[in-house]
Structure 1
């Protein structure tokens, strides 16, 4: 098998395509969450705390700026994404749960079948 045909076989597997779709959707979801946190949640939290703009929270050390407000905002985004992923995984696991399979009837040997027939005949007498 050539390198390209092997790569084609790998790339066309369902798991790889599912993974690619998941990455694209995840990136779009990340942008939505980022926008939600940046435009809605953090301003509301800032108002509740006392008109604090989290983007503006920083500490200057010499010429460097340590922007801990952006870090706080990123932590909030992470928590929201992690919670959403938790809910999705929980829903998928709930759908995957199957009813426990009924125990299969044991396969009887010829000797066991004959013994059962003898037992049944003795019961009838």
Structure 2
């Protein structure tokens, strides 16, 4: 079992995944900082200083003796008032959209750079059909089986009878 685990960990795609997770976490922190420190204040400024964190729907009554703010989500929650806090959801959706857009722009720029590099190197053809590119042996076997099935399908009798 130890050898299998070592072989699994040593695979390139597992290491690539680990690197992706670490970079993604760091990128998420940057994007969260961008959203909370720059974008959300701009949205608040544009829409009249809206603070999404205090957007909620109160479901239960305010307990007797409560002297805090009636518009502060954190204070009301601490006092035991049942609420639906949709402001955090709005913030998280905006964060997600920012992350998705940033990743889109990053992938778009990387694809353009790769296309330009291939044009400069004179490699405009599809590299996946090149014999120099290694492929998965299991995929190669499946491709051969598919080719054989297609060949047999072309040789099938016209009357629809099956061959033995």
**Fold-level match, TM-score > 0.5?**
yes
- Distance (whole Å) between structure 2 residues aligned to residue 12 and residue 22 of structure 1: 16
Q: Within the alignment, does 1:90 sit opposite 2:108 as a pair?
A: yes
Q: CA offsets per residue over residues 75-109 of structure 1, 9 Å max, x none? A: 111011111222233334441664126xxxxxxxx
- Runs (4+) of structure 1 exceeding 4 A deviation are none
- Distance (whole Å) between structure 2 residues aligned to residue 25 and residue 15 of structure 1: 15
Who is 2:150 aligned against? none
Of 124, 149, 159 in structure 2, the residue corresponding to residue 99 of structure 1 is 124
Q: Which runs of 5+ in 1 are unaligned?
A: 102-125
Of 14, 17, 20 in structure 2, the residue corresponding to residue 22 of structure 1 is 20
Higher relative helix content: 1
Who is 2:96 aligned against? 78
Q: Within the alignment, does 1:7 sit opposite 2:32 as a pair?
A: no
Of 29, 32, 35 in structure 1, the residue corresponding to residue 30 of structure 2 is 32
- Distance (whole Å) between structure 1 residues aligned to residue 110 and residue 37 of structure 2: 30
Give the RMSD, CA atoms, in angstroms.
1.8
- Distance (whole Å) between structure 1 residues aligned to residue 110 and residue 41 of structure 2: 33
Who is 1:67 aligned against? 85
SS in 2 for 1:50: coil
- Distance (whole Å) between structure 1 residues aligned to residue 38 and residue 108 of structure 2: 27
Who is 1:107 aligned against? none
- Distance (whole Å) between structure 2 residues aligned to residue 24 and residue 57 of structure 1: 33
Q: Which runs of 5+ in 2 are unaligned?
A: 61-80, 127-164
- Distance (whole Å) between structure 1 residues aligned to residue 104 and residue 48 of structure 2: 32
Between Structure 1 and Structure 2, whose CA radius of gyration is higher?
1
Aligned pairs for 1:46-65 (under 5 A) are: 46-62=44-60, 63-65=81-83
